[in-house]
Amino acid sequence: MTSTMDLLSSNGRTTTGRIAGRTILLALLAAPTALAAQSDENAVVAVVDAYHSALASGDSTTALSLLAEDVTILETGGVEDKEHYRSGHLAGDMRFAQAVPRERSEITVTVSGDVAWAWSTSTTQGRMGDREVNSRGAELMVLSRAGDAWRIRAIHWSSRAVR
């Protein structure tokens, strides 16, 4: 399936008088779609950022509110649902986020209707208790639209030590 945006991208770079009218029409038709897509993308990034901000500030209520009830969380140790995460790794994740600085790459978002996924990479360097931390990581989140809001349905964190 070719989207209107795809057509615009290919035509827009080789505009001629013959196709100018068509291009203008396509542009006008596509603009609202493109703006909506950008709005979705920004909304997804905002949720991801809000989640990390909540962890870093120790705000478990906000962090949990951004997770869907059926969320699946993968990190070192296993697969957790929301209840297990609440009573398990959440507190440790907040302590870690507060103790060890993390530098994150851009978040890349792909929106597919009412679902989106967002990935980023990061470097984490610092000290957690008596443990030196120096690692590179990747984060994947799957989000879906619930009414007007996006909620996190799945998280996968992985990392490896920098040697």
Partner 1 sequence: MSSVVTEIISLGAALKRGAALGAVALVVGCTAPAADLPAEGVNSSVQDPELLAAILEDVRVGWERGDGAPFHEHFLNWEGARYFEGGGQNTGLDDLVVNHVEPEAELGLTLNFTNIQAHFEGDFAWAVVDTEIRLTMPDGRAIHNRGHGTYLFRWVGDAWKVVHTQSASSAVG
Which residues form the interface with partner 1 (CB under 8 A)? Answer: 1, 3, 5, 8-9, 12-13, 15-17, 19-20, 23-24, 27, 30-31, 33-35, 37-38, 41-42, 45, 70, 72, 74, 76, 78-79, 106-115, 117, 119, 121, 135-138, 140, 142, 144, 153-154, 156, 158-160
Task: Supply the minimum distance, in Å, between the C-beta of residue 76 and partner 1.
Answer: 7
45 versus 66: smaller Cβ distance to partner 1: 45
Residue placing its CB nearer to partner 1 in the complex, 13 or 61: 13
Smallest gap from Cβ 57 to partner 1, in A, equals: 20
Q: Which is nearer to partner 1, 58 or 70 (CB)?
A: 70
What ranges make up the beta strands (E) of the chain? 67-75, 78-80, 102-104, 108-112, 115-128, 131-146, 149-161
Name the minimum Å distance from CB 61 to partner 1. 25
